[in-house]
Amino acid sequence: MPFSHGPATRVLIVDDHPIIREGLTHLLVQEDLHVCCAAATTEEALTAMACQPDIAIVDLSLQSDSGLDLIRTLRQRHPNLAILVLSMHDETLFAERALRAGANGYLMKLEAAEDVMSAIREVLAGNIYLSAAMHARLARALAVPRKTPAGSVACLSEREFEVLHLIGLGFSTREIAMKLNRSVKTIEAHQANIKEKLDISSGKELIRFAIQWLESE
């Protein structure tokens, strides 16, 4: 059902891939939504807020920026803005963090177009949108309160969390640096902080931990 009642809903798209921005814009226009602005970086997104969008659709990986940091800033500066994450990142790893940062919903890019529209409708209505599987996962987590041990990944910063995730996927330090647009020294510093926070003594142990953590999620 197109968004045809009242003024067109204004949408900000934040994604560093032009083809994604163009494809999403085409989809939304067909549904009578108005893509008032698009951005590839955090700086561009914050500037684009001058178009006063009703909803921001945000990717988590924005060139050298963190989508989670952008969400946190948008929520602080624009408390009434609906924010939907549309990302390639696995929702089981990032959805909860996105919601804690201030997002209203999380959707993976592999979902169908109708799911995107359903997600937009839900967050614009003031609801939280997650897949049915993710809803069930979070419900179980809330039903059984978890203690957070000192060595839990919950103590990691957003960037450290991303680095740990990429280590678990098998990326080398140099590959992670390229993927996150950071220097090798910066990634090595993140790895050192991760080892300290998780009480891990070596690089090999960190790799084992990261793989086992991903498999357990």
Give 74's Cβ-side CA count (13 Å radius).
37
Q: How far is CA 154 from CA 37, 95, 158, 181, 197, in A?
A: 34, 14, 10, 24, 10
User: What's the pLDDT at 147?
Assistant: 47
Q: How far is CA 17 from CA 22, 142, 166, in A?
A: 9, 35, 20
| pTM of the predicted structure, to 2 decimals | 0.70
137-155: pLDDT as tens digits: 666 655 554 444 445 787 8
Interacting residues of 9 by C-beta distance below 8 A, sequence separation 6+? 3, 33, 34, 54, 55, 120, 124
User: What's the pLDDT at 103?
Assistant: 93
Is residue 54 pLDDT above 70, yes or no? yes
3 state SS of 129: strand
Q: How far apart are CA 206 and CA 198, in angstroms?
A: 9
Is residue 91 pLDDT above 50, yes or no? yes
Q: Set out the domains of the chain in order of their start, with CATH numbers.
A: 10-142 (3.40.50.2300), 153-216 (1.10.10.10)
Interacting residues of 174 by C-beta distance below 8 A, sequence separation 6+? 184
Helix or strand (DSSP H, E) at 197? helix 184-197
